[in-house]
Structures are given as structure tokens and as C-alpha cells.
Structure 1
Amino acid sequence: MFIAYLMYKKSWIVLIGLLLLLTNALIQLDSGIRVEPHSLIYLNSLFLIITLSFFIWRYNKETAYYKSLRTLSDDVGEGWFEDVPKPHSSFPDPMVYTLLQNIHQHYQNKRREEQSSQLMEHTDLASWVHEMKTPLTAMKITIDAHRSNELAQRLNASWLRMHLLIDQQLYISRLANLDSDLLPEKLEVKDLLREEIRELSTWCMEKNISIDLTANTVSAVYTDKKWCRFVIRQFLTNAIKYSPTNGKLFIHMGLHENESVIVTIKDEGPGIQAHDLPRIFDKGFTGENGRIQNSATGMGLYLAKEICKKLHVRLEVDSAVGEGTSISMVFTSDNPFEMLRRTLL
């Protein structure tokens, strides 16, 4: 940094060097000035030592504030401005401090505006979802009241898909506050699966899809019922959506390594392209199958992934084109929920 400082002060160094040369030239050319050669060497040496000492002193003084800022820049956090040191010199450090203060204030104002806007959007979205649930509930009551009517029953599957999309939007609006909404308890995954299969039975019957549910062991886990059911619902709806008519879903529960409960949902759909597989959990990504279906939002798997992070559930995906897709939920035995349960026993 000292070399950079000298380069920055090169005009001063050139000026001092020229003045020294001019002084030496005057001493040598002016006959009225008599200086012994050893005295001239002494004078030049003393001048250079004083100049170098001056530059070192000014370097330490002028760069002290910037060194502290450089140290701060290596670890910038949310409260970075609170760590910015107050300027000691009168110029130009106060100008730098004022600039950083204005940038920080502008950033804070911008952030408050964005948070307020996001909060308003989430509030409007949640309000809209709740408003939509009222007519959907009325439609469901009407459909259930006319079970013998073929037209009403044909509308049942369409109503279910609308209900799932509205429900998905509701969970999107709640995702930011997921941590405060978790209520872990000991649950049987088999029961959660059966409840979701029952909810989606109308859609399965419309496509004549059968479900093969097998379990080799007890499937008790410690997790949140509402959010876990939503994740299972996303995987089941995806499997049903991409399964062919008269197809079959395979759901298996068993023990994974380290006695972790694993739930695998496999469909007979078109499968996922190898280049799409690493991105299926990205927000808004639909892939080739989604474009063909023209009904994918790219949000279902993203939400499932984000929720699974909070539930400490590991996801594993296996797919091959033309052979279907298999998604596994691994409820690890060493997650914080399970450890908390063990401490309460």
C-alpha cells in the first residue's frame, strides 16, 4: 500500500526532486555561494532523509482511516455502518464518512420501502386467497349435493385443481413466516399419505390412476403436520399430473440408513431430462415437461424444497426419460425436531 501511496503522490515527489536539483544547480553555478563537496553531500542526504521521514509520517496519518475501512470491507454485515470509525482529520475523511452515511441512509430507506411493499403484497395475496376460498367452498357444497349428477362430478376434478392452486398461493404467502408457524409432533407418515391420497382421489379417478401403497415398517416421525402434508401434496399432484391415463403410482415407506424413515413416490410419467434434473427445485423453473403440459408454475417443487429445509427433511430425486420419476423424502433421525422429542421423553 505504501508503494501505491507514493504513486499517488508522484507529482509531489517530482516537485521536491526538481527543487533539490535546482538547489544543487544554483550552488554549483553561483560563484557567490561556496559549499564544500562533502557539505553538499551532507545537505542532500539530510534533505532526502527528512523528505522520506515526512512521507512516512503522512502515509501513516492519511491512510489510517482508509485502512480501517478496508478492514471493515472484508466483513460487511447488516449493521456495517455502526462499525465505520469516526473521522479524526479535518479533510478528506469527513467527506468519505458523510458519503458512507448517505449511502447507508439511502439503503435503509430503500429497504424499508421494499419491505413495506412486500408486506402489502403478501397481505393482499392472503386476503385474495381467503376471498377465493368462499366461492370455492360454495362450489364444493353444490357439487357434493349433486353427486348423482354426471356434470357436477366432472366438475369435481377441475374444482380440486383450482383448490390446490389457491392453497399453494396461500402457502407461498406464509413461507416467510414459516419458522414461527412450525408445531412439531409425533406423526405417522402413513396417515399423512392416506389423507392426501383421499383428497386427491377425484383427480386419480378422472385419470383412472391406481396407487400402490406399501410399508415395511412403522413410519413414525417427528415433524409439522400441516407443512409436511403440503410437501407430500406437491409431490403427489406432480406425480398425478405427469402420469399417463390408466397409469399407476408407487408409494413405498421404509427405513433408510441410520434408521431414517424414507417415503418414495414414483410415477410412470415421461421422466425428467438429465439437463433439467439439477434445476427442478429452482424458483419458477418448469423444464421441458412443464412447457409441454402448459400448466406448470415452477413454484410447487421450489416450495417443497424450501419447506423441507425448515423441516430438516432431505430430498432425493431419481428420473430417467421414458421411465418415470421417483422422489424420496428422508426424515433423518438426527434432525433438531427429533432431538427435542428425545429430550422430552
Structure 2
Amino acid sequence: MKQLKQSKQLKKLKQEGKLLRIFLFDRLLYLLSIVIIVIIFAVLMELELVLYGGYVHSATRNYFVFLAIVIMLAVITIDYLRQRKYYTEVLVSTTPTMDLSESLLFQSAVTKEQQAVNAMIQQLHTAYLNQLGEHRRKQERNHHFVLQWVHHMKTPVSIIDLLVEEDAEQVTMQSIREENDRISSGLDIMLHTARLEKFAVDLHIEEVAVHDIVRKVINLHKKQFIQFSIFPHLEGQLTVETDVKWFQFLVQQLVSNAIKYSKQKPGNKNLRIVCTSSKEQDRSIGEITIIDEGIGIAEHELPRIFDPFYTGQNGRLVEESTGMGLYLSQLIVGKLGHTIEVQSTIGIGTAVTIKFTSSGVHHFSQ
């Protein structure tokens, strides 16, 4: 017990000695300047004593030197005691086992410099927490998406297995094609979601003919248009500065959504894709609007349609709804420097507009 007590006292003395060394080292120049001043004064007094013999008594000189040293030691001691707690906190915060929150608890800052450093550390900590929070939210979204995507992909695979088992000789090719398209669409979304993290690396801005991309997307979905009695109409022509690959994926998502939520309605439906441009405040403004005649979106759901995994009431009506299409669309539009707007009426349809603002926007007559 006695040895343990002595060990603790020795450890405390060592820590105190370390604190004192740090404190004195920071004030070494200050101490040297005072010592030099005292020495110069003592030399001058000695010269005065030699030259004027007894004009300045040696006891007076010695008293001044002694007094100066006492005052200097008193000031240093008071300053050390005043800042000792702060140095202790700093010393504790630099230990390998320190906790991040403990490293910010510099409550004993005394000088303006210490207070400024403390404020800077707090700001850096806040910025770090914000970035960490954003990183965690991204991880959570990706984790959630992967789980939903895997579940989403299991459905078409199971259906294909059932079709093959039930009718091994005459498999319904149309049904298999539909399920295969769902798998392909899901894989495409997964691939582009992964690429979003490295968007800048995969970006190439150039002049793009929007109407040509729309025609390409329409051709990719022509079987679905025929199957669900949807008649696409392309109106106008437009050339803008954007990334071909990302913009095509964006249009594919919006057209797929239009088909997905239009096929529920019986009869013939139209899908209008309108390319227009105009002048606004001396800037060239181009836009493309995709207008369907589908089931529409309830007004109270419109503020949440860009949230990840949000499917709303329509998601209960459409099996393949993942709630990721519009979320990814908004992310891509924002990264490309465009904007996206959605207007919808239940039972009538939905209009999605992508607006471009660029000096490279051109308009051609139809």
C-alpha cells in the first residue's frame, strides 16, 4: 500500500515536472530577456560605482538585483499556476488513449491565444462532425439501397423460375422478357448509384443533341410502349452542354417512370416529350418536359418524391417501384448543373421538366 502511494506521488511529480518544463520552454525567450536586462543594469551600476566611488552603494545594486529576481520568479510562478490547468488538459488530450470529446474540453483557456486556439478546435470539430454525419448518411442510404435492390432482384428471378417450371416446353417468352428487363433496369440503377460517388471522374461535358438522346431512349422502350398502348411523341429539337452518358440515364429513368405509372390505366395513353428554349434575363434557357397520362401523384406526396426509397401510394400499386428513380434523377441533375421540377394531378398524369442554363443552348426549328 505504501509502495503504491509512493508510486502515485512519483508519477504526479513527474507529470508536474513535465508541465513545468513545457511552461518554461514556451517562456524561455521572455526569461532570457529579463535576465539580460538585470545583468546590464548590474554592470551599469558597477561602472557607476567604479567611476564615481561610492555614489551608488554596492548594497543598493545587490538589493535591486535580488528584488528583480524575486519579482520575476513571483510573476512566473503566478503565471504558471494560472495556466497549469490548461497545460494539464493539453497534456491529457495528447495521450494515445484519449477520447475525441475529451480533447475538446479545454475549459481552462486563459490567454487570448489559448482562447483563439480553443475556438478554432471547436470549429474544426463541428466541421468534422458534419462531414462524418454526411458520410454516415451516405453509407446508410447505400446500405438501405443494396438491401432493397437485392430484394427487388429476387422477384423477377423467382418469376422466371416459376415460368420455366410450369411450362418447360412452351415458356411464355413475353413474361420472361419483362422480368429480364426489370433485372436489367435494376442493375443499371445499381451501377449508376455506385458511380455517383466518383461523379467528377466520370464526367465529360460536351454539346449534346437532346432530341437524339430522346429518340434513342424511345427505341429502347418501344416494346413496352407497344405492350401497354403508350404512344410517344417527340416535339422540338434542342442542343445543350451536358454529359451524354449521365443525361441518357436520366432520360431513361424518367421515361421508365412514365411507362411504369401509365401502364396501370386502361386504353391508349400518350407520352409527350417536349424540347423548348427561350430567353430569360439575357440567358439562354433550354428545357425538356416529359408529360405522361398516368395515374399521377397526390399533391401531399410531391414534396417527398425526391427522398430515397419513398414510393408513396403509387408504390403500393406498382410492384417494381423502388423509390430510387427520382432520387437519383435529382442527384444527377444537380451534379450536371441543371434543375428538375415535377407537376402532377391524380388520375390525369405527371409532367417532369429538366431546365438547362448554358451559353451553349441552341434551338432548331422542327
**SS at the partner of 1:193?**
helix
Could you tell me which of 91, 115, 119 is aligned with 1:71? 119
Equivalent-residue separation in structure 2 for 1:279 and 1:73 (angstroms): 37
Is contact 1:157–1:202 with CA below 8 Å preserved after alignment?
no
- Report the equivalent of 1:225: 244
Could you tell me which of 319, 323, 329 is aligned with 2:354? 329
Cα offset for 1:253? Answer: 0.8
Cα offset for 1:186? Answer: 1.1
Cα offset for 1:189? Answer: 0.2
- Identity across aligned pairs (percent)? 34
Cα offset for 1:300? Answer: 1.1
- Report the equivalent of 1:25: none
- Report the equivalent of 2:204: 183
Is contact 2:306–2:326 with CA below 8 Å preserved after alignment?
yes
- Report the equivalent of 1:174: 195
Is contact 1:160–1:200 with CA below 8 Å preserved after alignment?
no
Calculate the aligned-residue CA RMSD, in Å.
Answer: 3.8
Matches of residues 229-244 of structure 1 in structure 2 within 5 Å? 229-243=248-262, 244=265
**Larger Rg belongs to:** 2
Equivalent-residue separation in structure 2 for 1:161 and 1:79 (angstroms): 41
In 2 relative to 1, CA 333–240 (structure 1 residues): closer, same or farther, beyond 3 Å?
same
- Report the equivalent of 2:319: 294
In 2 relative to 1, CA 297–260 (structure 1 residues): closer, same or farther, beyond 3 Å?
same
TM-score by length of 2: 0.54
Equivalent-residue separation in structure 2 for 1:178 and 1:281 (angstroms): 19
**SS at the partner of 1:259?**
strand
The one-character-per-residue Cα deviations of 1:117-140 (angstroms, maximum 9, x if unpaired) are: x7xx99xx8xx99xx9xxx9xx9x
In 2 relative to 1, CA 331–150 (structure 1 residues): closer, same or farther, beyond 3 Å?
farther
- Report the equivalent of 2:286: 261
Matches of residues 1-345 of structure 1 in structure 2 within 5 Å? 58=82, 62-64=108-110, 67-68=115-116, 70-72=118-120, 75-76=123-124, 151-215=172-236, 218-243=237-262, 244-245=265-266, 246-256=268-278, 257=280, 258-333=283-358, 338=360
Equivalent-residue separation in structure 1 for 2:226 and 2:260 (angstroms): 13
Letter of the 2:109 partner, please give it. T
Equivalent-residue separation in structure 1 for 2:185 and 2:254 (angstroms): 12
Is contact 1:214–1:253 with CA below 8 Å preserved after alignment?
yes
The one-character-per-residue Cα deviations of 1:194-215 (angstroms, maximum 9, x if unpaired) are: 0011101111111111112111
Letter of the 1:251 partner, please give it. I
In 2 relative to 1, CA 321–70 (structure 1 residues): closer, same or farther, beyond 3 Å?
farther
Equivalent-residue separation in structure 1 for 2:220 and 2:198 (angstroms): 26
Unaligned stretches of 5+ residues in structure 2? 1-77, 87-107, 161-169, 362-366
Equivalent-residue separation in structure 2 for 1:150 and 1:208 (angstroms): 24
Equivalent-residue separation in structure 2 for 1:71 and 1:255 (angstroms): 50
Equivalent-residue separation in structure 1 for 2:300 and 2:353 (angstroms): 20
Equivalent-residue separation in structure 1 for 2:176 and 2:225 (angstroms): 14
The one-character-per-residue Cα deviations of 1:275-328 (angstroms, maximum 9, x if unpaired) are: 210111111111111122232111111111111111111101111222211000
